[in-house]
């Protein structure tokens, strides 16, 4: 176009950072001031006219309030006749490791639980060939080893817990191997599962849950079962009435929380958000999608939540220390992933995983979600006794 010009701004920022940057916003303002210079007598914004950040700060305060609302709502609901069935007997804590080897194993399990979701994120989300091949090889080794132990335990008539543990590990190993082999089919967008970015996240989450369950099963039958641990120690044994009332409590609490969201949206046309993390109103098709995906995400949150509660059940994890361990268990590895990914990007100009630009942006949104889940998981689990 005659007389036209191309303007390129290159702030030293990532793509998601551009959307929460006074520098990038200033560039946009400069561009429009330049483009509409002929009308400067009517409109002149200027770089100093940025007030959007104050709206973001206010929305962030509202976002905090939104999530804090669920604590008193659930506590109040639990005082009503039906809802009070969510309370159960406090589980006896697992026996503390008695040897240095046992203590070391316990700490290794916590570290493994934090690191595995991050180390294999690019493989499980982005179908990295080498990462997926390694995971399948580990799965095959698990199947072979569990099968050998199972056969040996019957031949030598070993203790029942060895037979049971090896059989469960064999079953989980087969399930994981089948799941790993079906990656392309699972994450493919279909009429039923139509979320192109959600499907890989669900696939990652279920794989993490399977691995965490295998670790817990192995640790239980190898270390804790001989010390007298039972299923009651894990806090997962409950009556049908308790399970039903807990589900209804969760649904009612979410309905109340989103009721406030819709009210605020109707009155002020705003929602609760900060940067890439937002709680927004939705339409009917989103509820349908929720009902499809929620059971799959439940697998992840339930198993990882149990793992966290088991590993922080003793008195030494009372108070803030327990919350820190829970948070590290949920997001510690993902935070390290982001530090590695974007740290290398800013230092060398090339990201740690160059082919995982979109998935890394999604990890940024996962971190606050899982952080909140970690806090809620630990707080509500310990309050429902």
pLDDT in tens, 239-288: 899 999 999 999 999 999 999 999 999 999 999 999 889 999 998 899 99
User: pLDDT at position 102, please?
Assistant: 65
When pLDDT is averaged across residues 1-5 and rounded to a whole number, the result is: 64
User: pLDDT at position 128, please?
Assistant: 81
Q: Which long-range contacts (CB under 8 A, 24 or more apart) does 93-98 make?
A: 93/233, 93/313, 93/314, 93/315, 94/224, 94/229, 94/233, 94/234, 94/310, 94/313, 94/314, 95/224, 95/227, 95/228, 95/229, 96/314, 97/223, 98/227
pLDDT in tens, 209-249: 999 999 888 888 887 777 777 777 777 788 899 999 999 99
In the chain, what percentage of residues exceed pLDDT 90? Answer: 42
pLDDT in tens, 290-306: 999 999 999 999 999 88
When pLDDT is averaged across residues 359-365 and rounded to a whole number, the result is: 89
Write down the pTM of the prediction.
0.88
pLDDT in tens, 164-186: 889 999 999 999 999 999 988 88
What is each CA distance from 42 to 25, 39, 48, 51, 310, in whole angstroms? Answer: 21, 5, 17, 19, 65
Tell me which of 44-48, 203-207, 239-243 is least confident. 44-48
User: Which one is predicted more confidently, 205 or 50?
Assistant: 205
Question: Is the pLDDT reported for residue 353 higher than 90?
Answer: no
- DSSP annotation of 220: I
User: pLDDT at position 3, please?
Assistant: 64
Planar angle of CA 134, 168, 223, nearest 5 degrees:
90
């Amino acid at each position: 176009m005659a007389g036209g010009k191309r303007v390129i701004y290159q702030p030293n920022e990532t793509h998601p950072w551009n959307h929460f940057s006074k520098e990038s916003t200033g560039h946009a303002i400069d561009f429009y001031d330049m483009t509409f210079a002929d009308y400067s007598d009517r409109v002149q914004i200027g770089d100093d006219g940025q007030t959007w950040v104050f709206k973001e700060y206010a929305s962030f305060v509202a976002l905090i309030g939104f999530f804090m609302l669920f604590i008193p709502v659930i506590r109040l609901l639990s005082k009503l006749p039906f809802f009070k069935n969510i309370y159960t007997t406090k589980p006896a804590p697992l026996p503390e490791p008695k040897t240095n080897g046992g203590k070391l194993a316990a700490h290794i399990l916590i570290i493994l639980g934090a690191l595995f979701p991050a180390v294999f994120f690019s493989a499980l989300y982005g179908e990295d060939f080498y990462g997926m091949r390694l995971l399948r090889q580990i799965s095959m080794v698990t199947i072979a080893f569990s099968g050998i132990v199972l056969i040996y335990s019957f031949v030598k008539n070993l203790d029942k817990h060895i037979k049971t543990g090896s059989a469960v590990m064999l079953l989980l190993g087969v399930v994981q191997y089948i799941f790993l082999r079906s990656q392309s089919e699972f994450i493919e967008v279909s009429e039923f599962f139509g979320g192109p970015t959600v499907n890989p996240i669900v696939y990652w989450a279920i794989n993490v849950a399977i691995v965490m369950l295998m670790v817990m099963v192995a640790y239980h039958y190898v270390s804790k079962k001989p010390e007298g641990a039972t299923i009651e120690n894990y806090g997962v044994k409950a009556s049908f009435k308790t399970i039903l009332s807990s589900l209804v409590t969760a649904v009612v609490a979410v309905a109340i929380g989103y009721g406030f969201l819709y009210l605020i949206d109707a009155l002020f046309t705003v929602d609760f958000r900060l940067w890439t993390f937002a709680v927004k109103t939705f339409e009917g098709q989103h509820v349908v999608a929720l009902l499809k995906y929620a059971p799959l995400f439940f697998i992840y949150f339930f198993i990882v939540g149990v793992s966290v509660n088991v590993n922080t059940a003793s008195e030494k994890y009372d108070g803030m220390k327990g919350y820190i361990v829970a948070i590290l268990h949920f997001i510690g590895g993902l935070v390290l992933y982001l530090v590695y990914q974007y740290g290398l990007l800013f230092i060398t100009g090339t990201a740690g995983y160059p082919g995982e630009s979109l998935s890394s942006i999604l990890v940024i949104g996962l971190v606050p979600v899982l952080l909140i889940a970690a806090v809620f998981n630990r707080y509500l689990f310990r309050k429902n006794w």
